[in-house]
Amino acid sequence: MTKMILVTGGAGFIGSHLTERLLQEGHSVKVLDNFDDYYPPEIKQKNLTKCMENPNFELITGDVRDKETVQKAMEGVDAVIHEAAQAGVRVSVENPEKTVSVNMDGMLNVLVAAKDAKVKKFVFVSSSSVYGKTHYLPYDEKHPTEPISPYGVTKVAGEGMCRVFSELYGMEIPMLRYFTVYGPRVRPDLAINKFFKKAMKNEKIEIYGDGSKTRDFTYVGDIVEGTILALEKGKTGPYNLGGGNRISVKELAEKIVQIAGSSSELTYTEDQAGDVIDTLSDATKAKEELGWEPKMKIDEGLRNYYEWIKERE
CATH of residue 65's domain is: 3.40.50.720
Question: CA nearest 11: which of 37, 38, 41?
Answer: 41
| Integer Cα distance of 302 and 220 in angstroms | 11
Asked if residue 250 and residue 239 are part of one domain, the reply reads: no
Q: How many domains does the chain have?
A: 2
Q: Are 191 and 254 in contact (CB under 8 A)?
A: no
Res 141: pLDDT: 98
Q: What is the pLDDT, as a whole number, of residue 273?
A: 86
Question: Nearest-CA neighbor of 108 among 116, 118, 39?
Answer: 116
Among 247, 249, 246, 272, residue whose Cα is nearest residue 194: 249
Q: Which residues are catalytic?
A: 151
* Residues 268 and 176 reside in one and the same domain: no
Sequence-ordered alpha helix ranges (H) in 36-116 = 41-47, 49-52, 67-73, 89-94, 96-100, 107-116
Helices (H), 130-181: 150-169
Alpha-carbon distance 115 to 171, whole Å? 8
pLDDT for residue 274 = 87
Together in a domain, 140 and 231:
yes
pLDDT the model gives residue 2: 85
pLDDT score of 312: 86
CA gap 232, 245 in Å, rounded:
26
3-state helix, strand, coil in the chain (%, to 5): 45, 20, 35
My answer on whether 118 and 200 are in the same domain is no
Q: Taking the CA atoms of 300, 301, 304 and 309 in sequence, report the sign of the dihedral they define.
A: negative
Is 124 found in the same domain as 24? yes
pLDDT, residue 21, reads 98
Amino acid present at 268: Y
Q: Are 287 and 293 in contact (CB under 8 A)?
A: yes
Does residue 233 share a domain with residue 195? no
DSSP state of 102: I
Provide the H-helix boundaries in the chain.
13-24, 41-47, 49-52, 67-73, 89-94, 96-100, 107-116, 150-169, 191-200, 220-233, 249-259, 284-290, 298-312
| Sign of the CA dihedral with 292 first, then 285, 153, and 121 last | positive
* Residue 32 and residue 136 in one domain: yes
For the domain that residue 263 is a member of, what is the CATH number?
3.90.25.10
pLDDT of the residue at 1: 78
Is the same domain home to 202 and 286?
no
Q: Which contiguous run of DSSP H or E holds residue 126?
A: strand 121-127
Q: What is the pLDDT along the chain (313 residues), one digit of tens a residue?
A: 789 999 999 999 999 999 999 999 999 999 999 999 989 999 999 999 999 999 999 999 999 999 999 999 999 999 999 999 999 999 999 999 999 999 999 999 999 999 999 999 999 999 999 999 999 999 999 999 999 999 999 999 999 999 999 999 999 999 999 999 999 999 999 999 999 999 999 999 999 999 999 999 999 999 999 999 999 999 999 999 999 889 999 999 999 999 999 999 999 999 988 889 999 999 999 999 999 999 999 999 999 999 999 998 7
| Same domain (yes/no): 172, 157 | yes
Q: What residue numbers bound the domain in which 65 lies?
A: 4-182+217-244+280-295
The pLDDT value given to residue 268: 97
Contacts of 128 (CB under 8 A, 6+ apart): 139, 177, 178, 179, 180, 216, 240, 242, 276, 279, 281
54-67 b/e (C-beta count within 10 Å ≥ 16 → b): eeebbbbebbbbeb
Residues 109 and 252 in one domain: no
Q: Are 132 and 201 part of one and the same domain? A: no
Q: Indicate whether 230 and 264 sit together in one domain.
A: no
Which of 42, 23, 313, 27 minimizes the C-alpha distance to 11?
42
Whole-model pTM above 0.85?
A: yes
